Structure 1
Amino acid sequence: MFNRTTFFVGISLLAALGLKACDERRFITLPDGTTSIKVGSIFSTDAEHWTVTVKNKYGRSSDRMFAIGDNPRLNIYLTSSGQLVVIGKGGEELFFRVPSKAGPIVLNGQQAKLRDRHSETWHYVGVIENRALTHNAECIPLMGEGRSPYRKQFQSEHSC
């Protein structure tokens, strides 16, 4: 016999599982094979932001940066101290500590003092453009107004 409640609960469960699977597919696995990154957008009343989520098998952590334009260009770096650094358009940066046996941790606020600021030793992984990791040449677009203390030799005054 047809039970409407069971039917709608079943459909809702399938929809939720489909959304979760779709959300997981948006993660890009980095070359280390254990760390993944996802970029999304947030619209608020004052501005648009890119949300960057980093995950490994122990957990995930997110932070956000001001969105310049409608398509992110995010340079991705790994440090020898186990950090993942993201530098976006305008030179804005995000730092995550990615321990080998714990979930990622955003390094902002009080944690910012732990950031590996020696960018000359960072390993360039690639750039996220059009929601995909590419191995295009390293370039940090400052968009005429931005600044960054990191990777100065790869900065472009305007765009890349």
Structure 2
Amino acid sequence: MEVKFQGNKVTLVGKQLKVGDQFPEFTVTNNSMEQVTLGDTKGVRIFLTVPSVDTPVCDLEVKTFNKKASEISGVTVYTISMDLPFAQSRWCGSEGIKNVVTLSDYKDREFGNATGTYVKELGLLARTAFVVGSDNKIVYANYLTEITDYPNYEEVLEAAKLAQ
């Protein structure tokens, strides 16, 4: 799959995932500087990767999922970026984000490498959306071909509803 950032081709590190795959193990850091693994997450989950919550496209994406996530009970939305946990916490507080859990892959790039979302040239994560069922199987996977584009919100949310 060819992925671009502002029209320029970039290299994704790691194996790209597809529907039916088992979601890989990972370790990331939450806003309290605690480690979070796949085993710490339960139920139907939406995992979003974004370059940085402090950019306009990512900002709107997370705010949109924050609003729409409150409309679906039993689904947890996680947004993973390379932003430091302190920056994520500050941003969430200033933007009133309460229905999306932000996690950071800054330390070991483990999430990015495990999901094929780490962008070699940028040191950031590509824009992707995964919906994972309670059995840890992927029911929806989308690597956006242009990192600066928005995901299809309704498609992601519909996949999450169907996974319940």
- TM, length-normalised to structure 1: 0.31
Q: Which structure: greater helix fraction? A: 2
Larger Cα-atom Rg = 1
